[in-house]
């Protein structure tokens, strides 16, 4: 049976590890948050004192952390993953980073006789909890097949997009669509509120038509219930949208709506909302319109 090492036990990582354990997969964890590690050890995981130790005892190493700088440190530090890996280990980075960063990580991993997959995920915290995540993968399909059971323990949809970096490109596209949809929902509900309509009733009226979407169903209730507890923080999504814009600039691709969205997110950061869920984008529109979206109003 494969042994999995898992690094990053935050909003996404913790439930993902619980699903690995539920599937009977031998899992060792590492995180700088000792309480997160303790909780998963109680659930049946093993704990490693360093990424190096974790990698030494694993056939598959998965990382899901906030940014590329952390991934690089986890891989290349003196006590990092690459200091402990055996040749043939498969390293899977599920963080949201730029395609350039993913290609750099792949090159470093391959020098150690190991395989690298960039495999960001979509589905947010609910998908991580329910084991319904979608994977966008850059790398060798044959390598993916070797660990298909590991992927399926945590998610349902597995798509190999292309070579290393392609998974990260797909994630950038995903984040453009998701966050602009959230902004559109926010604009619509603020308009409804300002016009005197109950935003919950407006949501119910439109969700069965062409405007209906997974994003609408997930985020509109959070807006009119004033529930901005993060499943995906504005901080993480601003990081992703910044990666989008940096990639677009390098390719000379104009992204007019996404550039405006980035500025909206920076405004929310300045107003202290950066750790809210990205449904909190509605608070930008509320501020400029002078209303608060709230059901029953």
Domains and CATH numbers, the chain: 3-162 (3.40.50.720), 170-289 (1.10.1040.10)
168 contacts 145 by C-beta, under 8 angstroms: no
| Residue 276 DSSP code | S
Distances (CA, A) of 293 to 8, 225, 266, 283: 35, 8, 21, 9
Nearest to 285, CA basis, from 154, 158, 193:
193
Q: Rg of the Cα trace of the chain?
A: 20
Count H helices and E strands in the chain, helices first.
14, 9
φ, ψ for residue 46, nearest 5 deg: -100, 160
Q: 3-state class of 155 per DSSP?
A: strand
Q: What is the pLDDT along the chain (297 residues), one digit of tens a residue?
A: 799 999 999 999 999 999 999 999 999 999 999 999 999 999 999 999 999 999 999 999 999 999 999 999 999 999 999 999 999 999 999 999 999 999 999 999 999 999 999 999 998 888 999 999 999 999 999 999 999 999 999 999 999 999 999 999 999 999 999 999 999 999 999 999 999 999 999 999 999 999 999 999 999 999 999 999 988 899 999 999 999 999 999 999 999 999 999 999 999 999 999 999 999 999 999 999 999 999 987
Catalytic residue numbers read 171
193 touches 293 (CB < 8 A)? yes
Return the pLDDT at 296.
86
pLDDT of residue 62: 98
């Amino acid at each position: 049976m494969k042994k999995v090492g898992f690094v990053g036990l935050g909003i996404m990582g913790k439930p993902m590890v619980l699903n690995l354990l539920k599937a009977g997969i031998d899992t060792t964890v590492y995180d700088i948050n000792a309480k997160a590690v303790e909780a998963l050890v109680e659930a049946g995981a093993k704990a490693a004192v360093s990424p190096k130790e974790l990698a030494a005892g694993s056939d598959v190493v998965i990382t899901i952390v906030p940014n590329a700088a952390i991934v690089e440190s986890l891989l290349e530090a003196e006590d990092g993953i690459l200091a402990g890996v055996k040749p043939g280990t498969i390293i899977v980075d599920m963080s949201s980073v730029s395609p350039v960063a993913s290609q750099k990580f792949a090159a470093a991993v391959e020098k150690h006789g190991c395989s690298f997959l960039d495999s960001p995920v979509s589905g947010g915290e609910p998908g991580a909890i329910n084991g319904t995540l979608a994977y966008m993968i850059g790398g060798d399909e044959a390598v993916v097949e070797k660990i298909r059971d590991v992927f399926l323990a945590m998610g349902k949809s597995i798509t190999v997009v292309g070579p290393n970096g392609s998974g990260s490109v797909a994630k950038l596209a995903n984040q453009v669509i998701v966050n602009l949809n959230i902004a559109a929902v926010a604009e619509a509900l603020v308009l409804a509120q300002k016009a005197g309509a109950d935003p919950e009733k407006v949501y119910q009226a439109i969700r069965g038509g062409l405007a209906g979407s997974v994003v609408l169903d997930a985020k509109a209730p959070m807006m009119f219930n004033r529930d901005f507890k993060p499943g995906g923080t504005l901080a993480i999504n601003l990081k992703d949208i910044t990666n989008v814009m940096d990639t677009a600039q390098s390719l000379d691709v104009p992204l007019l709506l996404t550039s405006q969205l980035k500025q909206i997110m920076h405004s929310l950061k300045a107003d202290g909302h950066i750790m809210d869920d990205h449904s909190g984008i509605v608070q930008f529109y509320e501020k400029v319109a002078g209303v608060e979206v709230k059901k029953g109003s």
